[in-house]
Amino acid sequence: MDRAQFTRLDENAWQVAPRGAMRVPAVIYASAALIDGMDQKVFEQITHVATLPGIVQAAYAMPDAHWGYGFPIGGVAAFDAEAGGVISAGGVGFDISCGVRSLLTGLSRDDILPVQKELAELLYYAIPAGLGSTGAIRLSGKEMDAMLRGGARWAVEQGYGEEDDLQRVEERGCMAGARAEAVSEQAKKRQRDEMGTLGSGNHYLEVQQLTEVYDATLAQDFGLEPGAIVVSIHCGSRGLGHQIGTEFLKRMLVAAKGYGISLPDRELACAPLRSPLGEDYLGAMRAGINCALANRQILTHLTRRAFAEILPQAHLRLLYDVSHNTCKLEEHEVGGARRRLFVHRKGATRAYGPGHPELPEALRASGQPVLIGGTMGTASYILAGTAEGEAKSFSSACHGAGRAMSRHQAGRQWRGRALVDELAARGILIRSPSLHGVAEEAPGAYKDVSAVVEASHQAGLARKVARLEPLIVIKG
């Protein structure tokens, strides 16, 4: 993008003042190099978001921002329902509550290396992955509705995990206000056989080694030690979330004119939060969040079971589970007053700072763990939310590296087998049902995750805690 379009607020913040139909400024957090590498579409989309009714303070884009459907991926915006605020399915995304959970293992690299290949094979067969992947769990209609209302709590009650896990999951593992009846039968049908599966695209399970600590105090608070082995799981609500997004985008587009909403882009189709359609989407979207939370909880159980076969001394304890495609009702300070706002985070991670009452007691003093996924052959990061992040971005940070090219472009430029062999030579074992899918997720198809994380750190959105590098990658 051309930097001349912005007013530079500081080294890592760029603003577009309100103009035309914009109701608030648009702010992008990024270094100069990241701004230069962003597509012009990010500028167009984030300024379009700033025109939506009831938006508060500013429309934000994170350092990993890139083109998406409606909102840019990496987009954050908060809306006041009492001021005519809207909810947009394009501001949440199709993979509702896609997110990352990280597990501490108590193991070291020396424990993993002798069994690395054996563990890679076992995890590959234990964790269903790939386009249209299905698992051993098949839900009846009654069980489906119970899962959509109960989330990870439902999964634990079914024996997939431990009660202690729920204290380390957003919303304590269950999103209130979920309405199973607002989810279509087609969405439920798509999900019936997909619980406990990774899916495809950029989803993964990684066995990672902690290679660098940036903040020793926070690392200790999080239970992280140099050389420690961590398992991270990245996936979402699978076919159910995609179906919810598809159906409600169509309904919102048809209804927008009747609500008196003028859309700068049809992909920003939305509905007033205080409307039957807005409330229906909220209920269905919250059910989608619960689906993703339950899915990651089941995958945690399957991962623990696989580790127990080869490394019985391991105890996989949940560090945290964060989502990055949601809209949540939260309280934030705006203009010196506390307001209840519906915060859209699309490809952005919630990052509550120290002392926030929503955090579990064990993490309240340190701030929320912010889990930033890498790109198959690159590093991942653990950060912590900051107190200043609330004013800067409604307590939001980046979610990953962000794509630098389309999957189609990546598939033409790289070959999956060559990538698998190249990474194996570096000590990283890749297991995937699709070599074409591996090519589409080539590390070179993404931005430099280290640069994205550094920009988030420098901007004060979240603090760097530790760096992780992959040893085993199960790709969807």
Residue 150 CB partners (closer than 8 Å, separation 6+):
157, 174, 290, 294
Is 399 a catalytic site residue? yes
379-399 exposure pattern, b = at least 16 Cβ within 10 A, e = fewer: bbbbbbbbeebbebbbbbbbb
pTM > 0.75: yes
pLDDT of residue 435: 87
Tell me which of 395 and 475 has the higher pLDDT: 395
Q: List the 337-346 sheet strands across, edge first.
A: 7-10, 13-16, 26-29, 55-66, 73-79, 337-346, 325-334
pLDDT of residue 288: 98
pLDDT exceeds cutoff 90 at 469 = yes
pLDDT exceeds cutoff 90 at 289 = yes
Q: What is the pLDDT of residues 255-273, one digit of tens each?
A: 999 999 999 999 999 999 9
What's the rounded Cα separation, in Å, for the pair 386 and 390?
A: 8
Tell me which of 476 and 298 has the higher pLDDT: 298
Q: What is the pLDDT of residues 161-186, one digit of tens each?
A: 999 999 999 999 999 999 999 999 99
Nearest C-alpha neighbor of 86 from the set 116, 50, 115:
50
Supply the mean pLDDT for the chain: 95
375 pLDDT band, cuts 50/70/90, is confident
Element (H, E) at 241: helix 238-255
Looking at 99-103, 155-159, 209-213, 373-377, which range is the least confident one?
A: 373-377
Give percent of the chain above pLDDT 90: 89
Annotated catalytic residue within 344, 399, 436, 457: 399
Count CB atoms within 10 A of the CB of residue 407.
Answer: 17
pLDDT of residue 71: 97
Using an 8 Å Cβ cutoff, are 120 and 311 in contact?
no
Q: What is the pLDDT of residues 24-35, one digit of tens each?
A: 999 999 999 999
**Mean pLDDT of all residues in 221-239:** 96
**Mean pLDDT of all residues in 365-378:** 93
285 pLDDT band, cuts 50/70/90, is very high
**Mean pLDDT of all residues in 73-90:** 97
**Mean pLDDT of all residues in 187-212:** 94
pLDDT of residue 380: 97
pLDDT of residue 134: 78
Tell me which of 439 and 274 has the higher pLDDT: 274
pLDDT exceeds cutoff 90 at 437 = no
pLDDT of residue 231: 98
Q: Which residue in this structure is represented by tokens 């290679």?
A: 211
**Mean pLDDT of all residues in 399-425:** 87
What's the rounded Cα separation, in Å, for the pair 280 and 275?
A: 8
Q: Which residues pair with 79 in a beta bridge?
A: 55, 342
pLDDT of residue 101: 98
Q: What is the pLDDT of residues 308-342, one digit of tens each?
A: 999 999 999 999 999 999 999 999 999 999 999 99
pLDDT of residue 434: 86
Q: How long, in residues, is the chain?
A: 476
pLDDT exceeds cutoff 90 at 298 = yes
Structure tokens at 154: 């439902």
Q: What are phi and psi of 335, to 5 degrees?
A: 60, 35
pLDDT exceeds cutoff 90 at 407 = no
Using an 8 Å Cβ cutoff, are 186 and 243 in contact?
yes
pLDDT exceeds cutoff 80 at 132 = no
pLDDT exceeds cutoff 80 at 118 = yes
Looking at 69-78, 147-156, 414-423, which range is the least confident one?
A: 414-423
Structural domains of the chain in order of their starting residue, each with its CATH number: 3-404+446-475 (3.90.1860.10)
